[in-house]
Structure 1
């Protein structure tokens, strides 16, 4: 997906939060802010890929502040928040153990996003509200049929916290469809995205083969991820993609396999691109053979 004029203000807000998370040094914050303004003036251009630009911006901030993981505390807080909600979530599953309900829960977890939303957002209340919503686009029947005919599935994670709910869905898919699941996580810290350690700590290696995308990027960026990961995307039977960053990146790629996007729409740009209101849960199949 290409940048839109609205992306500028979002990236500047993210930059301020990232800088403040990275350092308490006021002088360093000022210097990093000036670098951000120079970066945006030079690189914020029409037709630039949105998550590619965001990746470069966040790595520049890490370099300027000397902090390679500004969102470490927020990532850990996200996991704690989600784990505290597990009793409520399991109660919902006991009442309705369909694939759709597991996906609704996983998609509700996608609101734990400190890139798209302000850091002072009440994530717990937002998740509880989001779980009650039905998908505005609902390709669950297509996904169910694809899983029935699949052997190998690639699952692209998004944020910390959210991955706690992903585990429930992944376990459901593994048990009901008996597929091999490759679980892809970032090679290093970026925003509050889930890392390999998060997946291992949660025991996701019991149900999946945990792999790295080969990059610490906002979502998937074709030129940043490893050649092995690129090959895998075109050799599995289907891809399940969580979150907006992966949507931004995958829609810029030629992929010869069906992709099922599971996300909560949190910005106007993606809202218009998908054609649903902000706040919508989405289960959407897209064929990315351009």
Structure 2
């Protein structure tokens, strides 16, 4: 997916969000916003939104003299997600369809997105997710793919959401123990996306292989990935892509057997999927 006019406005608005997250004074706030606004005039419409974001966030990090612009917010997101784990574990243990329940949990976590056009409340989403149908529903096809897959790559998205991804992978391992599982993260801090640091802190290495993709975009941009990440992406029997950024980067992709799991949080992605903002999606291509 390449950017359109709506993406430009959204990316400019992200500079406002960064200023708030940094508790920036008026001078720094003005510099961040004016710089991104100026950059927006020369955005390439052949780039994906995550590729544009990589340039913008690199520049904002330089201006703010801060490597991880959202480090404090990410810590809070992780703590909030962890507070729901006991409730979700109970939901899983009582479930008659553990795969569907775990998949819904993984999708619910996708609301933790600091770059989205529309924001949703995590607690509210968790209360209704189990009663919400997928607007695009390839779940039966997804389940069939899992039954035969010998290698499964989960491409992570946001911090906080990764806690629910952990539960998701645990359930996949319980239901389909014959497969090898890998969890792919970003190569460096970008927005609130999960990196090796947060994955290790959450203990992912205890349950699966953890892979640093090497990408500096808030989505898996194949041509920016390191050689091992490319090989893993190409050879996995099934790729599970979490969130909008990954969808934007992998639509289209050179490979098949990708399952996109996401909550639609912007009009551009909604139009691409021919669904509505707020819908949840399980799409296999």
TM-score range, shorter chain: over 0.9
Secondary structure of 2:211's aligned partner: strand
The yes-or-no answer on 1:116 pairing with 2:116 is yes
The yes-or-no answer on 1:266 pairing with 2:258 is no
Aligned to 2:236: 236
The whole-number CA distance in structure 1 between the counterparts of 2:274 and 2:258 is 17
The yes-or-no answer on 1:64 pairing with 2:63 is yes
Secondary structure of 2:41's aligned partner: helix
The whole-number CA distance in structure 2 between the counterparts of 1:64 and 1:118 is 26
1:265–1:279 CA contact under 8 A, matched in 2: yes
Unaligned runs of 5+ in 2: none
Secondary structure of 1:234's aligned partner: helix
The whole-number CA distance in structure 2 between the counterparts of 1:253 and 1:118 is 26
2:187–2:212 CA contact under 8 A, matched in 1: yes
Secondary structure of 2:42's aligned partner: helix
TM-score, with structure 1 as normaliser: 0.91
Q: Does the C-alpha gap of structure 1 residues 199 and 48 become closer, same or farther in structure 2, counting only changes over 3 Å?
A: closer
Q: Does the C-alpha gap of structure 1 residues 88 and 132 become closer, same or farther in structure 2, counting only changes over 3 Å?
A: farther
Q: Does the C-alpha gap of structure 1 residues 127 and 71 become closer, same or farther in structure 2, counting only changes over 3 Å?
A: farther
- The Cα shift of 1:27 comes to 2.1
- The Cα shift of 1:268 comes to 0.8
Aligned to 1:218: 218
The whole-number CA distance in structure 2 between the counterparts of 1:194 and 1:50 is 18
1:207-254 C-alpha deviation (Å, 9 max, x unpaired):
110010112311112332213212221111110000000000011431
Map 1:194-213 onto structure 2 (within 5 A).
194-213=194-213
- The Cα shift of 1:266 comes to 0.8
Map 1:1-290 onto structure 2 (within 5 A).
1-22=1-22, 24-43=24-43, 45-96=44-95, 97-116=97-116, 122-178=121-177, 179-255=179-255, 257-286=256-285
Secondary structure of 2:278's aligned partner: coil
Aligned length: 283
The whole-number CA distance in structure 1 between the counterparts of 2:37 and 2:12 is 8
Secondary structure of 2:109's aligned partner: helix
The whole-number CA distance in structure 2 between the counterparts of 1:151 and 1:30 is 51
Secondary structure of 2:115's aligned partner: coil
The whole-number CA distance in structure 2 between the counterparts of 1:106 and 1:137 is 16
The whole-number CA distance in structure 2 between the counterparts of 1:275 and 1:51 is 20
- The Cα shift of 1:133 comes to 1.3
2:15–2:32 CA contact under 8 A, matched in 1: no
2:263–2:278 CA contact under 8 A, matched in 1: yes
Secondary structure of 1:223's aligned partner: helix
Unaligned runs of 5+ in 1: none
- The Cα shift of 1:143 comes to 1.5
2:118–2:266 CA contact under 8 A, matched in 1: no
Secondary structure of 2:35's aligned partner: helix
Q: Does the C-alpha gap of structure 1 residues 25 and 223 become closer, same or farther in structure 2, counting only changes over 3 Å?
A: farther
The whole-number CA distance in structure 2 between the counterparts of 1:221 and 1:22 is 27
RMSD of aligned residue pairs (Cα, Å): 1.8
2:78–2:160 CA contact under 8 A, matched in 1: yes
Q: Does the C-alpha gap of structure 1 residues 125 and 183 become closer, same or farther in structure 2, counting only changes over 3 Å?
A: same
Secondary structure of 1:114's aligned partner: coil
